[in-house]
Chains A and B, each alone.
Chain A
Amino acid sequence: MKNENGDENNNQQTDSQRFVPRTILTVTNLGIRRSERWLFRDLNFELKSGEVIQVVGENGAGKTSLLRSLCGLLPYARGEAKWAEIDESECLPLFLGHLPAVKPELTVFENLKFHPIAGEFATESQIEAAIEEVQLGFYLDTQARYLSAGQVRRVGLARLLIAQTPCWILDEPFTSLDVDGCHWLEGKIDDFAKNGGCVLLTSHQSIHLPTPPKLLELSNAEQFTC
């Protein structure tokens, strides 16, 4: 895919911000409990602009729960996760879960047009450019139910290109992507981080970036019950 045309996602960072690393997310003593079992407790980390953090851990270690609770979908049992304030409002990350969130009965174009991303709707030219870039230009007016799983995943990922947010939270973004798609996504993540964005993602495969991502390990070796 076209790695060099990566300008669409950069415009949210002005030049002055670009080289000043700032903390976007601070997590202190975070603990998540599912029914009686602690997935983890006392998790501490910071997410700074320009950083890529990969959450690793076994199946069931709580990777998805962590991402969902950071977005506010899942309440945490203890501790605190604090988003930095940007332009006087709390930073709204772009969260793409492991479900693609693509409606089968809408066309590729409509799927992007009618989904608010970080509280805003994208312009038509932005959307068309994004669809071109994920190599689905031919399918612009095709209903998403006629697409393959990988293509549906690409429609979901096209949201990254039109989002105006300093932070991406991606849950298993490489699922069902082909080799080209994985390279393209790695390129996108790298570009985004270089321009001051920060990415928190889970993946079981190793991610090849020029600066390797920080690893955040969730081990479920110690399972407390209470």
Chain B
Amino acid sequence: MLMQLLKRELLRHWRCRQDLINPLIFFVITVSLFPLALEPQGQLLARIGNGIIWVAALLAAMLSLESMYRDDYLDGTLELLLLQSGSPYQVVFAKIISHWLTSGLPLVLMSPLLAVMMQMESESAIALILTLLIGTPVLSLIGSVGMGLTVGLRQGGVLLSLLVLPLYIPILIFGAGAVSRASMGMDYSGQLALMGAFLVGSLSLVPFASVAAIKVSIR
């Protein structure tokens, strides 16, 4: 059941590839503009690179949230899926997994390139990839609740960022913090463990919150 729903989501995303590329291009362009705008000093870039890449990843994730439930809501598919699939949690899970696969994972894969552009050391580049790998699923999960709440609103974009961004901030702090510790040659396993805890926590609670949010929205 979950596999079928997931297949459907991925097929849909594949058919609208340009929507997928949008957040990724945003991510790459935002990060690559900084070396042009700042003084071309290697140390400066390496010092602020972690923060820039993390902020860009956060905003790119927000950009792609809109595609999560909006289309399905507008053409009535969301109601049908919730009613007919037996378990609405599977629908939500399929949505979240496909959202991460199509928006989070490309960011992770692109990040080594951007780390090089930011002249980061290999130690901090590895930390960046690890934190993004743990952090981006959390962004998709939390975003699913926010999107579920705002899917019924015509102008939900501003509200969505107000709802979701505060919840993203801990991830941003620990993600960027871990990378900067790595760049100083310190141990960052504590930050990683906390991010892992966020992931497990949201993984177990978000499906309930998302389903409840969507049910409110489609009334």
Contact = CB atoms under 8 A, between A and B. Distances in A.
Interface in B65-84: 71-72, 74-77, 79-84
Given A97-B79, A105-B16, A119-B85, A74 B219 contact: yes
A110 interface: yes
Nearest to B13: A105
A118 B16 CA distance: 28
Given A100-B75, A106-B11, A121 B83 contact: no
Interface in B10-27: 11-12, 15-16
B15 A116 contact: no
Q: Is the interface of B mostly helix, strand, loop or mixed?
A: helix
A221 interface: no
A200 B39 CA distance: 70
Contacts of B16: 105
Contact of A118 (B5, B77, B84): B84
A102 to B, nearest CB: 7
Interface string B1-45: 100110110011001100000000000000000000000000000
Contacts of A2: none
A99 interface: yes
A97 B76 contact: yes
B197 interface: no
Contacts of A94: 84
A96 B79 CA distance: 9
B76 A73 contact: no
A143 interface: yes
A106 B12 contact: yes
Interface string A103-117: 111100010001111
Interface in A76-100: 92, 94-100
Interface in A101-140: 101-106, 110, 114-119, 121
Contact of B7 (A74, A98, A114, A119): A114
Given A115-B84, A116-B85, A121 B4 contact: yes
A210 interface: no
13 contacts: A73-B218, A95-B79, A95-B84, A97-B80, A99-B76, A101-B76, A101-B80, A106-B12, A110-B11, A114-B5, A116-B1, A116-B4, A116-B85
4 closest A-B pairs (Cβ-Cβ)? A99-B76, A114-B8, A119-B86, A105-B15
